Structure 1
Amino acid sequence: MTGYYDYVLGLIPAALIGVTAALMSVGLPLVSAVPIGATVTIGLMGHAMFVNSPADGTPVRSDTPATAGSATASRPTPTNAD
C-alpha cells in the first residue's frame, strides 16, 4: 500500500531533476536552475516533516505502569538533574 511518505520519497529526486530540467529547457543556466530545484525539493521535505508529520500527536503518559502487578512499576522514576 502506497502512502503519503512513499510519494514524498519518490518526488524528492523527481522534483530536483524535473524542475532543474524544466528551468534549463526555458533557458535558465544550470547554476541557477539547480538551487531553484533544490528549494522545491526542500519544500517537499519540510511539508512532510512539519506540516504533515508522521507523529500522531497523542502524548504518551510516562507514569502509566508497564505491568500492573509489578512492585517497581508503581514507583516513579527518579529525575536526573545533571
Structure 2
Amino acid sequence: MTGYHDYVLGLIPIALLGITLLMESVGWSLRVAVPVGGLVAAGLVGHAMFVRGPVTSRPVRDAPATHVGPDAGTAPAQNAD
C-alpha cells in the first residue's frame, strides 16, 4: 500500500531531473536549472519530514519502570573508625 512518503520518494528525482530538463529546454542555463530543481526536491523532502512527518498512528508507550529502592546498587556503608 503506497502512502504519502512513498510518493514523495518518487517525486524527488522526478522534480530534480524534470525541472532541470524543462528549464534547460526553454533556454535557461544549466547553472540556473540545477539549483532550481534541487530547491524543489529539497522542498519536497522538507515537507515530508517536518510538515507531514512520519508518525505512528498510536502513541508509543515508554518501557515499564522498574522499582528501584533507596539501597539498590549501593555498597554497604563503611566505618572509617
Which bracket does the TM-score occupy, shorter chain normalised? Answer: 0.7 to 0.9
Q: What percentage of residue pairs aligned between the two structures are identical?
A: 57
Give the CA RMSD over aligned residues: 2.4
Partner of 1:65: 64
Answer yes or no: is the 8 Å Cα contact 1:5–1:48 preserved in 2. Answer: yes
**Matches for 1:1-82 after TM superposition, within 5 Å:** 1-56=1-56, 60=60, 62=62, 65=64, 73-75=66-68
Q: Aligned in 2, Cα 1:57/1:3: closer, same or farther, shift over 3 Å?
A: closer
Of the two, which has the highest radius of gyration? 2
How far residue 75 of structure 1 moved from its aligned partner, in angstroms, is 3.5
Code of the aligned partner of 1:44: L
Q: Which has the higher contact order (CA 8 A, sep 6+)?
A: 2
Unaligned ranges ≥5, structure 1: 67-72, 77-82
TM-score normalised to the size of structure 1?
0.71
Partner of 2:73: none
